[in-house]
Amino acid sequence: MFDQFLYGTEAAINGLMTGVMYSLVALGFVLIFKASGIFNYAQGVMALFGALTLVGIQSGQVPFAHLINALFGTNVHHFGWELPAILAILLAVGVMILFAWMVERFLLKHLVNQEPIILFMATIGLAYFMEGVGDLMWGSDIKKIDMPIPQGINNAIDSATYDWFGYGFYIDNLDITAAIISVILVVALTIFSQYSTTGRALRAVADDHQAALSVGISLRKIWVIVWSIAGFIALVAGVMWGAKSGVQFSLSLITLKALPVLMLGGFTSIPGAIIGGMVIGVGEKVFEFVVSSSWFGDAMGFTMNATENWFAYVLALVFLVFRPQGLFGDKIIERV
Amino acid sequence: MSDTYETPDGRTIGGKVLEMRNITLRFGGVVAIKDISFDIREGEIRAIIGPNGAGKSSMLNVINGFYHPQEGEIWFHGEKRKPMKPYQIAQQGIARTFQNIALFKGMSTLDNIMTGRFNQMKTNLLSQMLWKGPAEREEVENREIVEKVIDFLEIQAIRKTPVGALPYGLQKRVELGRALAARPKLLLLDEPMAGMNVEEKEDMSRFILDVNDEFGTTIALIEHDMGVVMDISDRVVVMDYGRKIGDGTPDEVRNNQDVIDAYLGVDHG
């Protein structure tokens, strides 16, 4: 039985790491939702787009190569250089900021004071538009991220746990890195929003648009900043997920994994997004571990597999019934 | 009226800070403000009164840029004002409070009042992220100004309290604090005493008079309590159904037949 416990613990730790990656995506949602009340369906595509751009820039791909070649009869595909990782990252961040500016300029500006459902629809449109642009710009083949991110089994943990328990835990270095980066991001964001002028303005806009305007805060500027930060987080998430499974278009579907995280943690809480991600990550791994194990089968007469596909949604549903505002979200109280 | 005038209590009121010239504001077919002109002078407390629906709040919203009048000109410090966004008008030095308190409910009193300093805080995003150096210095300087406002309004005890949890009267005071923190050239108060009891009203009246007296702030306010209006304001504009029906010192307005009719009702038959 003790070894079963060990396997379970390993699954839980791995779940925790995966959960932190869910949180990364959810974090982008929360930021935008707080500051502008928009549920940004495009967050997952932003992650994809960010990762594509990073890989494209780094490997010296010519953006819109197919389009250019078709139009001018040329045959260019590569600039023929490899950029250092740090430069590529800076350029990709620049592209995400430019993207944020364009979203504000061409989309949000025209939709001020619209119903939330209309804004939501606009972000769905944005998601598919970006997917198309991403395809056109960088091509649709699966790309490998060449970043100095440690990957593979963490030998220290493996040998330490082997010494203690006689069973080595398999924890991936990539997951550990992702978890550390996420924690740093969250702490930095929290400090920034609590203690800086712009952070205060962000919270002010999130709270009351009219009042924010009346003290001289430009909503449009704040939105560009918020979308830039969300774009940056999407880039980080995209790179982490991309490093795990290659940069491919199915990456945009992580949006769907962020949804239950948001329902659990609350749409308006940054810590909620983190904890929600971890609860879901651990929950789905441990649940899968339990219901697919032989002793569960012996006791119940059946086992289940591939529960990770639906577990998060069921958990979110349960939460919706009992705590619609999520674990940390603002309680919705309407005065009548 | 000449360029300056003396108040009965001996203050000298200066030239025009704001001048509204033939302002007309329509919402579709509804005329909210019809051809109104008046001015607000340096250092005075100017009240705008009138029955419900007279267009007083609309007038304040025109001044602070939430509404844009279809006709008329607005002159601020001797210059004709171009159509502007509310935040640009705030940057020009016009601060305001709202009839139904518009505070940032999730933030503390201190943070709320700090947002009032937003226009004066100029460091860029990058140095704010680094925090040390200019951003920190700026934060400290502005914090000192905010602490003075907090002392002035006697709300030290609630500095760290989220304003959503404060009683109504205190929220009104915090909102005044946020507007004051900007050190505005013109302060607009939309019913600063609505819903207050007698004691709270007295406090608020005192604060308004002190602000005007100590900082020389020009104030325009909307208020329903006639007693308060007559006590604290230097000049009064009276509106009814979007028109101006009276303008002058409290005594002049009080004896104006149109004003008396508007308030007491008159048989139009």
| Distance (Å) from the alpha carbon of A304 to chain B's nearest alpha carbon | 45
ipTM, interface predicted TM-score of the complex: 0.85
Question: What are A32-87's pLDDT values in tens digits?
Answer: 888 777 889 999 999 999 999 999 999 988 888 888 888 888 888 888 888 898 99
Residue A114, Cα to own-chain centre: how many angstroms?
26
Any CB–CB contact under 8 A between A159 and chain B? no
Contact B245, B56 (CB under 8 A): no
Spell out which residues of chain B touch residue A196, defining contact as CB-CB under 8 Å.
Answer: 128-129, 131, 135, 139
CB contact (8 A) between residue A201 and residue B115: yes
Burial class (CB in 10 A: 0-12, 13-18, 19+), A149: middle
Selected for mutation to probe chain A from B88, B118, B124 (highest A CB count within 10 Å) is B118
CB contact (8 A) between residue B115 and residue A217: yes
Q: Which of B120, B244, B98, B249 is nearest to B182 (CA)?
A: B120
Spell out which residues of chain A touch residue B139, defining contact as CB-CB under 8 Å.
Answer: 195-197
Greatest mean pLDDT among A67-76, A172-181, B22-31, B124-133: B22-31
Selected for mutation to probe chain B from A93, A196, A215 (highest B CB count within 10 Å) is A215
Q: Count up the domains in chain A and report the number.
A: 1
CB contact (8 A) between residue B115 and residue A200: yes
Question: What are B153-196's pLDDT values in tens digits?
Answer: 999 999 999 998 899 989 999 999 999 999 999 999 999 998 88
pLDDT on residue A334: 54
Spell out which residues of chain B touch residue A217, defining contact as CB-CB under 8 Å.
Answer: 87, 115, 118
Spell out which residues of chain B touch residue A218, defining contact as CB-CB under 8 Å.
Answer: 85, 87
**Which residues are within 8 A (CB) of B148 and not within 5 positions of it... i.e. 6 or more apart?**
none
Question: What are A255-266's pLDDT values in tens digits?
Answer: 788 889 998 888
Question: What are B42-79's pLDDT values in tens digits?
Answer: 999 999 999 888 999 999 999 999 999 999 999 999 99
* Amino acid sitting at position B3: D
Any CB–CB contact under 8 A between A100 and chain B? no
Mark the ranges of chain A whose per-residue pLDDT is less than 50. Answer: none
CB contact (8 A) between residue B85 and residue A213: yes
Any CB–CB contact under 8 A between A190 and chain B? no
> Any idea which of A9-18, A193-202, B4-13, B90-99 has the lowest mean pLDDT?
B4-13
- Higher confidence at residue B231 or residue A3? B231
The two beta strands, B45-49 and B218-222, are: parallel
CB count within 10 Å of CB B262 equals 21
Buried b (16+ CB within 10 A) or exposed e, A277-314: bbbbbbbbbbbbbbbeeeeeeeeeeeeeeebbeebbee
For chain B, how many helices (H) and strands (E)?
A: 10, 12
pLDDT on residue A303: 86
pLDDT on residue A145: 86
Any CB–CB contact under 8 A between A196 and chain B? yes
**3-class DSSP state for residue B37?**
strand
**Which residues are within 8 A (CB) of B15 and not within 5 positions of it... i.e. 6 or more apart?**
B3, B4, B41, B42, B78
CB contact (8 A) between residue A216 and residue B66: no
* CA–CA distance, B258 with B247 (Å, rounded to integer): 11
Any CB–CB contact under 8 A between A218 and chain B? yes
Is residue B268 very low, low, confident or very high in pLDDT (cuts 50, 70, 90)? low
Any CB–CB contact under 8 A between A203 and chain B? yes
Nearest to A213 among B87, B125, B138 (CB): B87
* CA–CA distance, B3 with B169 (Å, rounded to integer): 37
Nearest to A216 among B91, B106, B129 (CB): B91
CB contact (8 A) between residue A207 and residue B128: no
pTM: 0.84
Task: For chain B, give every domain's residue range.
Answer: 1-93+184-269, 106-178
* The CATH number of the domain covering residues in B1-93+184-269: 3.40.50.300
CB contact (8 A) between residue B90 and residue A216: yes
Spell out which residues of chain A touch residue B121, defining contact as CB-CB under 8 Å.
Answer: 197
pLDDT on residue A188: 87
Selected for mutation to probe chain B from A207, A214, A217, A223 (highest B CB count within 10 Å) is A214
pLDDT > 60? residue B264:
yes
Chain B interface residues facing chain A, Cβ-Cβ under 8 Å? Answer: 64, 66, 85-88, 90-91, 95-96, 98, 102-107, 111, 114-116, 118-119, 121, 123, 125, 128-129, 131, 135, 138-139, 178-179, 182
Token reading at B160: 């760290």
Average pLDDT value for chain B: 90
Nearest to A207 among B96, B106, B116 (CB): B106
Q: Is residue A279 part of a domain?
A: no
Contact B17, B234 (CB under 8 A): no
Q: Which chain A residue has its CA at the smallest distance from B91's CA? A: A216
| Distance (Å) from the alpha carbon of B218 to chain A's nearest alpha carbon | 17
Selected for mutation to probe chain B from A194, A197, A217, A333 (highest B CB count within 10 Å) is A197
Spell out which residues of chain B touch residue A227, defining contact as CB-CB under 8 Å.
Answer: none
Spell out which residues of chain A touch residue B116, defining contact as CB-CB under 8 Å.
Answer: 215
Contact B232, B203 (CB under 8 A): no
Q: Which chain B residue has its CA at the smallest distance from A190's CA? A: B129
Token reading at A206: 């999130």
CB contact (8 A) between residue A196 and residue B138: no
Boundaries of domain holding A204? 2-252
Q: Is residue A321 part of a domain?
A: no
pLDDT > 60? residue B2:
no
CB contact (8 A) between residue B135 and residue A197: yes
Q: Which chain A residue has its CA at the smallest distance from B112's CA? A: A204
**CB hemisphere CA count around B251 (13 angstroms):** 2
Residue percentage of chain B with pLDDT more than 90: 67
Q: Is residue A324 part of a domain?
A: no
**CB hemisphere CA count around A236 (13 angstroms):** 24
Is residue B126 very low, low, confident or very high in pLDDT (cuts 50, 70, 90)? confident
Element (H, E) at B71: strand B71-76
CB contact (8 A) between residue A204 and residue B128: no
